[in-house]
Amino acid sequence: MPSEINGNIIEYRLMRSRRRTISVEVTDEGVTVRAPLKMSVAEIDKFVIDHKDWIRKKTALLDEKKKNQQPVEHLTRADIDKLADEAMRVIPERVAYYAPLVGVTYGRITIRNQVSRWGSCSSKGNLNFNCLLMLMPPEVLDSVVVHELCHRKEMNHSKKFYAEVLRVYPDYHKWQKWLETHGDDIMRRMTG
Ligand SMILES: [Zn+2]
């Protein structure tokens, strides 16, 4: 649904739902506007026009980021299986090491090759870890293990949660920074 702005067109995908407010998001897939069911197209267009500078800036930033992306070497099925085997050997050991330091118990440990997250912890204490962690420095893996184990105490990302993480793993922020910088490239090795 194109929105005409002084001869410049911003294309956006419109998704209507039972929501009260309108929002706009810019991703690699383009511009998505989420609007309430009954909002008029004119109102939605006005919203897009009001946000056109922000949308253009965001789009330019994403384009720039894409241009600077280094090509990655994609993992084969065999590579991933090998990583999963290694993860199944290494990660339970790290969890067993840190659980008493955090002071918690845990349930099952599952290794996944997912492209969305590095780890997770269910309310029952079952832990999930991404096998791609095996491609990173061991300190990164440890920081993720401690993060998930601390969710056994705090099921949120509150100050209290991070205080507990830092008590057990003082270098946490350093290695999370590493993950922020390099994580996307490593995730990209799984897709495409
Ligand atoms: Zn978390």
Domain boundaries, the chain: 2-67, 77-188
Instruction: Please tell me the distance between residue 154's alpha carbon and the centre of ligand 1 in angstroms.
Output: 9
Ligand 1: centre distance to CA 103 (Å): 17
Q: What is the mean pLDDT of residues 6-23?
A: 85
The answer to whether the predicted template modeling score (pTM) of the entire model surpasses 0.95 is: no
Q: Compute, in angstroms, the gap from residue 114 CA to the centroid of ligand 1.
A: 16
Q: Is the pLDDT of residue 3 over 60?
A: no
CA of 148 to the centre of ligand 1 (A): 6
- CA 192 to ligand 1 center in whole angstroms: 27
> Per-residue pLDDT tens for 109-124?
999 877 778 999 999 9
What count of Cα atoms within 13 Å lies in the side-chain half-sphere of residue 137? 11
| Fold of the 77-188 domain | Zincin-like (3.30.2010)
Q: How far is the CA of 161 from the centre of ligand 1 (A)?
A: 9
User: Which residues, 6 or more positions from 96, have their beta carbon under 8 angstroms from its beta carbon?
Assistant: none
Coil, helix or strand at residue 15: strand
Query: What is the C-alpha to C-alpha distance for residues 44 and 23, in angstroms, rounded to an integer?
Result: 10
Kindly write down the DSSP assignment for every residue of 72-120, as one continuous string.
-PPPPHHHHHHHHHHHHHHHHHHHHHHHHHHT-----EEEE--SS-SEE
Structure tokens at 69: 């992306």
Average pLDDT over residues 41-62: 92
- Tell me, in angstroms, the distance from the centre of ligand 1 to residue 29's CA: 26
User: What's the confidence (pLDDT) of residue 143?
Assistant: 97
Give the Å distance between the CA of 125 and the centre of ligand 1: 13
